[in-house]
Every structure is written in structure tokens, then in C-alpha cells.
Amino acid sequence: MNYVFHFGAILERWPELLYGAWRTMELTVISCAAGFVIGLAGALARSFGPAWLRRLVGVYVEVIRNTPLLVQLYFFFFSLPLMGLRLSSDQAAILALSIHLGAYATEILRAGVEAVPAGQVEAAKSLGLSRWQIIRFVVIVPALRAVYPSLTSQFVLQLLGTSIVSAIAAEELTAIANNMAMQTFRNFEIYIVIAVIYFVLVQACSLVFRLLSRILFRWKA
């Protein structure tokens, strides 16, 4: 193997890499927050909603989970303009990532909701709590605690999944790396560097989620 590594040309452009990492985290945080809200609403709808709403959410979950994220991304970016709704690459990226995560979060959170003992719910009813109070105080917190590891693992996968939005030229780490590769022709070095950056981002997020778990559920015996 005669290949000679030259990382200098890549590392001297660290501001671009730092900006790409920032954009990746920005897309991750926004889409995870939106996806969590969608997932929580979907889980409650599937567990407590009327039959028609449960079926509607079920269709949404099945469609999203059984089609590739890239196809969904292309749909929002290329197909919606044909219907009169034009989105920027960043808007399409956030929308696609949020809806995609929402489908998975719906099933994860629904599993947590259904894991809440029926006796707890019945006890709350006997105390005269309203349906919303039962959901808020008796169901949501135990459900979140039960599925927290699975949910945060999905958030980490979302961070890695943001790399796909480079396909529509949304600015994030992989898109910036692709541009650098075309300009410097040091593909090997560039993708080694961004692999390290992704690894660091994932480890940092995992640490944050572990700390949050201790804070949010510290009262657990």
C-alpha cells in the first residue's frame, strides 16, 4: 500500500468541521424534540383514543416504518413543491427526520404506556382523578422511565441518521465533508476524521442521557 496520509489539509479547515458538527447537533435536537412530541401524542392516541384515531395513527406508523428515510426525505423536498408547498433543504430535513422519528417513538412510548400496571390506573380512578390527570401523573412518568433506554437509543440513531440529509444538500457534517472531499481529493482522511467526530458526538450524547436519567428518575428506589 503506497497511500500516504495527509491530515494537515483537513485539520486546518477545522472551523468548517466544527460548523458541520454544530449543524448536525442542531438538526438532531430539533428533530428529536419534535419527534418525541409526535411520538407521545401518537402513543396516547393509540392507547386511549377512539378507534378511528388508533387506526389512523397505526397507518402512519406502518407507512413510515416500512419505507426508507431517504424516500421520505425526497418526498418532502421534491414532491411537496408539486403540490404548492416549497420547503428549503433544512426545512425538509427537519420535517422528514421528525416524522420518521415520531413513528418509532410512538411504538416505543406505547410499549411504556401499556406497561403501566392496570391497578395503578384503577386506583387513580377510584381517587377521582380525571382522565387527563391519570395520563399526566400516573401513566406518562412511569412509561417514560420504562422506555427511557430504548427511547434515548433511538435519539442516538437519529443523530447518525442526520447524515442522510446531505442527499438534498442540507448543511451538516457529512455534507460539509463531501464538499471538502471534492475540493481536496483527500477522501480517506476526511471520512476518517468525520467518523471520529461522529463517535465523539455519540459518546457525548450518551453521557448526557445517562446524566439526565439520574436527574429525572432519581426518586426511583
pLDDT bin (cut points 50, 70, 90) of residue 53 is very high
pLDDT, position 221: 41
pLDDT, position 37: 96
Residue of 38, 51, 23, 31 lying closest to 175 (CA atoms): 23
**Maximum C-alpha span of the chain:** 77
Mean pLDDT of 99-120: 91
If one compares 139 and 93, the residue with the highest pLDDT of the two is: 93
pLDDT bin (cut points 50, 70, 90) of residue 138 is confident
**Integer Rg of the chain from CA:** 21
For the chain, give the number of residues: 221
Distances in Å between the Cα of 19 and the Cα atoms of 24, 80, 113, 159, 185 are 9, 29, 39, 15, 20
Q: What percent of the chain is modeled with pLDDT above 90?
A: 62
**CATH code of the region 8-216:** 1.10.3720.10
If one compares 39 and 136, the residue with the highest pLDDT of the two is: 39
Domain ranges of the chain: 8-216
- The tens digit of pLDDT for each residue in 140-186 reads 888 888 899 999 999 999 999 999 999 998 889 999 999 988 888 88
Mean pLDDT of 36-55: 93
